[in-house]
Amino acid sequence: MDNTLNVLARKAGFNSALRHFKIVTQYVGQVGRGANLADLLNESLDSGRVERHQIKPILSAVLEEKLGYSIRAWNLGSTIEDAASIARVLADWSALELVLVYHHPQTGIFVVNPKKIEHFEPIGTMVRDELAVLYVGVASGEDVKASTVEQAADDCVALLEGSKIKGKKAYISERKAQVAARPATVASEPQQAPVTSGAETPQAPAAAPTGGGGRQRMTARIPVNVTNELFHNGNVESWKRIIESYKSKYPNFDVLIWYENERINDINALFKWGKVKHGTPIMISVVGEDPKDISKLRRYLFEGASPRFEAFLHGAVDRVLQLF
């Protein structure tokens, strides 16, 4: 017998399915009006509106079945440690919408708008041989040939695999480029300061104060995979020096370290436990007003957790490394 509808037999299952259907319908409308599904899903995950087990069905229903995006699925041929150059190239592909799904071996599925470097940061390192799935579709209001979409999908995969790819003219929206190039119109002439008696010169209005007091925020937890056989004392010392260098450049930022959902206040504990071995992720997050250089910090910590840690141990012990 066919049991595929059994989940709807109970009230809880029916209501859960109904909520899922409503969300999918909303996403279809929003993507049709120009939103990127990766942006929508990450916002919904952060707010708790959807759970990670819903991601695959949503991607399939919205991008594959409803909107007919071109799809590429493959195992990464090389490790991607820094995606900044990838995001810079793809940011210009304004006639296309891109969604990248990466299956992390420890932390699970990530949905990425590959035009945005901040979407790559929670992943950390994209590890060779792990599954990646790319969806490519036509941006709202654009007229792009199906063959162009297929070529763009192939080019995007090649870019992710390290090839030097330049966006073709067909990938760039002429309409959006014209809007961006259009000079701003002046609504009215600026008012002249009132003339005062005598020879006084009108004073310019004082600028609004811009001091501190901005909202502090914590970045998402970013995994840094250990590629040394064991995260030993040398790795710990290199991490200390990297974090010291970062905090020397940004004294108002704080670097938090997490392992198995536990905050690590003493980094030496990672070495003493002896449990952090090859392939294990250590999570980091940065707290501060508008945290900077997150990708560079993660890249250095990745090196510090690798057999190449000794590069950070050169020089006098009391000398702060100039890494940032």
Domain residue extents for the chain: 7-177, 218-312
The pLDDT value recorded for residue 1 is 53
Q: Could you tell me if 106 and 75 are in contact, meaning their C-beta atoms sit under 8 angstroms apart? A: no
- Picking from 300, 197, 316, the residue whose alpha carbon sits closest to that of residue 247 is 300
- Asked if the 7-177 domain carries CATH number 1.10.645.10, the reply is no
Residue with tokens 């799809």: 71
The pLDDT value recorded for residue 179 is 55
Q: Taking the chain (324 residues) in consecutive chunks of 10 residues, what is each chunk's mean pLDDT?
A: 71 82 93 94 85 91 95 94 90 96 80 92 82 96 94 96 88 73 45 38 35 58 87 91 94 89 82 76 86 88 91 84 90
- What superfamily in CATH does domain 218-312 come from? HPr-like (3.30.1340.10)
The pLDDT value recorded for residue 127 is 82
Quick: pLDDT tens for 99-132: 999 987 666 788 999 999 888 877 777 888 999 9
Tokens matching residue 197: 């008696």
Cα distance between residue 153 and residue 70, in whole Å: 7
Query: Which residues sit opposite 283 in a β-bridge?
Result: 223, 258
Quick: pLDDT tens for 51-98: 888 999 999 999 999 999 999 999 999 988 888 899 999 999 999 999
| Run of H or E residues at 272 | helix 268-273
Q: Is 254 exposed, middle or buried (0-12, 13-18, 19+ CB in 10 A)?
A: middle
**Topology agreement, domain 7-177 and domain 218-312:** yes
Length of the chain in residues, anyone? Answer: 324
The pLDDT value recorded for residue 108 is 76
Could you tell me the strand order of the sheet in which 131-138 lies?
70-75, 131-138, 96-104, 108-112
- Picking from 216, 261, 224, 221, the residue whose alpha carbon sits closest to that of residue 242 is 224
